[in-house]
Amino acid sequence: MKISREDVLGVAQLAHLELAPEEVETYRAQLDEILAYIGKLQELDVASVEPMTQMLPRTAGGATPAGAEPELRDDVLLPCNVGEAVLAEAPDAARPFFRVPKVIER
Amino acid sequence: MTAAPTWTITSVRDALLAKKTSAHELVKDFYDQIERRNPELNAFLALCPERAYAQAGRVDAAITKGQPLPPLAGVPVAVKDVISAQGVRTTCGSKILENYTPPYDATAIERLEKAGAVVLGKTNCDEFAMGSSNENSAYGPVRNPVALDRVPGGSSGGSAAAVAAGLAVVALGTDTGGSIRQPGAYCGIPALMPTYGRVSRYGLIAFASSLDRIGPFATNISDTATVISVTAGYDSNDSTSAAVAVPDYLAEIEKPVLGLRIGVPEDYFGAGLDPEVKTKVQAGISLLEKLGCKRVPLKMPHTDYAIATYYIVATAEASSNLARYDGVRYGLRVQGNTLMEMYRKTRERGFGPEVKRRIMLGTYALSSGYYDAYYLRAQKVRSLIARDFASAFEKVDAIVTPTTPTAAFKLGEKTADPLQMYLADIYTVTGSLAGVPGISVPCGKTATGLPIGMQIFGSHFDEARILQLARAFEKAGGFSI
């Protein structure tokens, strides 16, 4: 067993998920099985391998095709004007703000 | 059992130009079909008739005036419900976005409509595109139009089913680990995952940002080529889209395949592959050889590690991307006495079990103390998988494999065992991790009539080559081999 009840509760707290008591054991068993399977990654020797941190294509020789480097647009302001449309989707808007339960206690 | 698809992009164009129908009439016919078939298939989650008829009206006006028609004029299309369409409810198959209406259009939709396409509505999918059977949708599963007791595949199950049932001429799906190619295989239609960065993702609601791609479903390769021509290309609103030149795919697909080298990796034909699928895909490869392709045996030794790698990388990114659903700015809010309580209650009520499972797995893999053992290691193995592809493409022009280990499974067959469900993507996730394009094409059927898919991978930005092979395969009768 790789993952305990406490692990599940700890991860759920980090991820802001509230779990029903009966869900905890279900997720524990499932995550345990999945992590046991993922354990096969430990079989490989990756000591000299760089992690893949970007998606630019590289041939084994390291070349990239023309145009595959990230394109940066000019740093200019463009009108957006979506404030009203965005706030219209808010569960509780107090224009121009989103209202939430009190965060700071006095 | 099913009305086979009758319309193609070409036949729509011909019928409109010959005035045999109008774009308006065509839309009405498709909505009539959807009304008849959708209660059974559950392929569509939302329809947008106002928008569709307005677009059809513009196409009909252009025809009346004798103006030149853009490539998709009057073509009814369906769009997976993870792609934003302004003013059309977009749920991602989730309760957390049940009443969400995006304030803008995704670039892919904008480009389709600019090319004259008529968006009929949004298609069902696994919640946030997480699943391989469409059974993780909060709005019920989609049924496979070929066999109603079977899943259509996932996560783009609604888009695949809509096209296979003739409820849309073409459709957009998204592919993160196989979510276009696998449902294409299960429903018996061509399905293309383009190169990472080929199609703008502006307006695509993110699942795993280093993997997500938008691509088409169609009933033939020419239509597939047309849709990718229209949607591909750099977009200043998506910094991950590539400014690589987009070729004329319709011209490219008719080029002869004589002399093309096709790699066949033995690692994709081992234990777990259904014998019927194996036989048909091998027959498919023989057919390509008969057409003049040269078969090259390959080894891609890290194939077996792809699922484990994928379920760390994808869930880690998902746990981060889905942190935005907190009840503050859009979507569901469940009230709480404190901000934290509101977050937790909203996410508890709004997310389904598979999404929660993946968020927890991803959060675990990224958490302090486990990062090196899981996430960092997975990113290193991902390099090895990408290297397998890079070395293969020094020797071959394309790689041919089965799309899936089996044909479509029964509804409910794998829902109790998440890991078994994940293994349905064993041949597709490799290309997702490497960033290369892949297409699934129909390759005959099982004895019980279930479609089988053959997958063709190409090197980065070489969609033209795999479409060319797919077209030669189609012309030679490979789809019904």
User: pLDDT grade, residue A106 (50/70/90)?
Assistant: low
Nearest CA in chain B to A54: B210
Interface contact A104, partner B, CB < 8 A? no
- Residue A59 pLDDT > 80: no
B6-24 mean pLDDT:
97
Is there a contact between A57 and B461 if contact means CB atoms under 8 Å apart?
yes
The fold of the B9-252 domain, in CATH, is Amidase signature (AS) enzymes (3.90.1300)
How far is B446 from B363, CA to CA, in rounded Å?
A: 40
* pLDDT value of position B1: 43
* pLDDT value of position A60: 47
* pLDDT value of position A8: 96
- From A51's Cα to the closest Cα of chain B, the distance in A is 4
Query: Which of B91, B78, B9 has the alpha carbon at shortest distance from B37?
Result: B78
CB B225 within 8 A of CB B251: no
The percentage of chain B sitting over the pLDDT mark of 90, rounded to a whole number, equals 95
B176 three-state secondary structure: coil
How far is A104 from B339, CA to CA, in rounded Å?
A: 10
The 8-class DSSP code of residue A70 comes to P
pLDDT, tens digit (0-9, with 9 covering 90-100), for B345-359: 999 999 999 999 999
- Residue A2 pLDDT > 90: no
Pull the structure tokens for residue B286.
Answer: 């023989």
Query: Which of B200, B182, B204, B201 has the alpha carbon at shortest distance from B191?
Result: B182
Annotated catalytic residue B155: yes
* pLDDT value of position A67: 65
How far is B431 from B145, CA to CA, in rounded Å?
A: 27
Q: Which of B236, B242, B376 sits opposite A51 (nearest CB)?
A: B376
Q: How far apart are the first and last CA of chain B?
A: 21
Mean pLDDT, chain B, integer = 96
ipTM of the modeled complex: 0.91
- Any idea where the domains of chain B sit in the sequence? 9-252, 261-298+387-480, 308-373
CB B351 within 8 A of CB B127: yes
Weakest mean pLDDT among A57-61, B135-139, B327-331:
A57-61
Please give the residue that has the higher pLDDT: either B282 or B370. B282
> For residue B119, what are the β-bridge partners?
B77
Interface contact A32, partner B, CB < 8 A? no
Q: List, in order, residues 6 or more apart from B296 with CB less than 8 Å away.
A: B261, B262, B263, B264, B395, B396
User: Does pTM surpass 0.90?
Assistant: yes
Q: List, in order, residues 6 or more apart from B193 with CB less than 8 Å away.
A: B175, B180, B181, B213, B215, B431, B432, B437, B438, B439
Mean pLDDT, chain A, integer = 87
B392-414 mean pLDDT:
97
- Residue B154 pLDDT > 70: yes
Q: Which of B210, B241, B419 sits opposite A34 (nearest CB)?
A: B419
Query: Which of B137, B120, B126, B50 has the alpha carbon at shortest distance from B78?
Result: B120
How far is B384 from A46, CA to CA, in rounded Å?
A: 9
Which of B84, B94, B155, B156 is the catalytic position?
A: B155
- From B169's Cα to the closest Cα of chain A, the distance in A is 32
User: pLDDT grade, residue A65 (50/70/90)?
Assistant: low
- Residue B92 pLDDT > 60: yes
How far is B473 from B239, CA to CA, in rounded Å?
A: 35
B217 three-state secondary structure: strand
Which of A14, A52, A72, A103 to mutate against chain B (most B CBs within 10 Å)?
A52
Which of B80, B280, B414, B445 is the catalytic position?
A: B80
* pLDDT value of position A73: 75
* pLDDT value of position A102: 87
Chain B residues in contact with A85 (beta carbon < 8 A): 103-104
* pLDDT value of position B156: 98
Nearest CA in chain A to B96: A91
Residue B60's Cβ-side half-sphere holds a number of Cα atoms within 13 Å equal to: 15
Only one residue has tokens 């045999």, namely B20
pLDDT, tens digit (0-9, with 9 covering 90-100), for B232-273: 999 989 989 998 999 999 999 999 999 999 999 999 999 899
Annotated catalytic residue B229: no
pLDDT, tens digit (0-9, with 9 covering 90-100), for B82-91: 999 999 999 9
User: pLDDT grade, residue A1 (50/70/90)?
Assistant: low
CB B43 within 8 A of CB B142: yes
* pLDDT value of position A53: 85
